[in-house]
Amino acid sequence: MASEQIGSSGSKPGENMLWGGRFTGGLDPLMVSYNESIYYDRAFHTQDIAGSIAWARANHKGGILSAAEFSAIESGLKKVEKEWAAGTFKIIPGVDEDIHTANERRLGEIIGKEIGGKLHTGRSRNEQVATDMRMWLRDELRKIDTYLSDFLKVIAARAEKEVDYVMPGYTHLQRAQPIRWSHWMLSYGMAFASDLERLREVISRVNLSPLGCGALAGNPFGIDRQMMAEELGFEGLLWNSMAAVSSRDFVVEALQWGATLMGHMSRWAEDLIIYSTQEFAYVKLADAYSTGSSLMPQKKNPDSLELLRGKSGRAFGQMAGFMMTVKGLASTYNKDLQESVEPMLDGIKTYADSIQIATGVLSTLATNPAKMEAALDPFMLATDLADYLVRKGVPFRDTHHISGQCVAFSEKSGTPMNQMKISDFKGIDARFEKDVLACFNYEKSVEMRSAAGGTSKKCVLEQISVLKKMLA
């Protein structure tokens, strides 16, 4: 996005540029296209028009514009916005270097350059671009808030409906202990809920107004910044003019947030990719979120999940790339900051699309509780066996060793642990009694994990309740 210091060429050097009076020579045509940002920052046309109307209103209040001049500017800008909305706005290459230049040029054509030329009084594009970006990002992040809330509602509803399904829980991708399928869903639900909390904090920091800070030193006409901020829906002001126009921390933070979200999304997708394989077959994706093979007719590929996993790298790359751009800049505005726009635009689209795809995947996912149950293994109850002896007063370090001996006996003899005889257990440790066989019950095992946050039914329902409250 263009700064105050550098520009583009037209048929007459500098004639149509906001900064043109200083320059008498034309630019290299490649520099023209290299410098311009209109083909992506036009996304901010609504915010730029709203900001300009608020600016004109404040200048009218301050005596810079007459009532008639303000009325003409406001009416003209609304006509410009209608052209953008209808898709009829004509961009002039080499002249409309950015959305600000384009809107002001078109305003002058509609109402005349004499009045149109007064719009920019006291204003810098440095503050204008920062204002547009903050407004656009705020609006888009609020949409993402809605998408993420909807996704979490699906997680909560599905966890509640399928709370009775028991499956293997894994560490190191090795079977560990029995858990509820709902507990697995909520493990990611809580991560995404934390993302939602962080998102709302980001929005509050994005939604602060830089308008009225000038190029770097402030406004000389006593413009009412608070009035403009309220009109544009900002929650407050940025209090240092130099920082206000040059800071892109709000973009960095949004990209950091997005990278964290997509990291969670990637891990969630990876688990479901594994669970959807024929080797696991715990879940089956709907056709709407799968693709086939051009060669193998039997294939049903989880492309939706693989793209979610893949786009996490894209999100992280955008964040890291832009952080490297801003890390060594001198104070206030530098043209490097134009590089904040495309990562922000791409990042927001990636996050929004990904959350909606994930919601669709989970809403239509078929589960196979029989396959989950069939994958349970008596070895997964080895900890329950150790806990059994703990309840009889044996130190856990001893019971862990004893349970390990039972596992070794089972492997060596080829006898599943739940089919070992009482004499087998007593041969390992005399403190085993007949009731030891009651340990080999998967439902009992999950119900024993009854401390808050555990995988018992009561705990899982409690977690669903907590998640719903976080959404509220």
Q: Which residues are catalytic?
A: 172, 293
- The helix/strand/coil state of 209 is strand
Q: How is 96-109 classified by DSSP, letter by letter?
A: --SHHHHHHHHHHH
Q: Which two tokens stand for residue 191?
A: 């991560």
Q: Rounded CA gap, 377 and 34, in Å?
A: 62
**Beta bridge partners of residue 166, listed in sequence order:** 180
Q: Rounded CA gap, 103 and 237, in Å?
A: 25
Category of 85 on φ-ψ map: left (φ > 0), alpha (ψ -120 to 50) or beta: alpha
Q: Which two tokens stand for residue 21?
A: 């009076």
Exposure letters 58-78 (e unless 16+ CB within 10 A, then b): bbbebebbeeebbebbbebbe
**Burial environment of residue 411 by CB neighbours within 10 A (0 to 12, 13 to 18, 19 or more):** exposed
Task: Name the pairing type of β-strands 236-237 and 366-367.
Answer: unpaired
Q: Which two tokens stand for residue 458?
A: 């009561």
Q: Rounded CA gap, 256 and 201, in Å?
A: 13
**Beta bridge partners of residue 167, listed in sequence order:** 179
Q: Which two tokens stand for residue 86?
A: 């209808």
Do residues 193 and 155 touch, judged by C-beta distance below 8 A?
no
**Closest by alpha carbon to 48, among 70, 78, 68, 13?**
78
Q: Rounded CA gap, 163 and 182, in Å?
A: 5
**H or E element at residue 173:** none
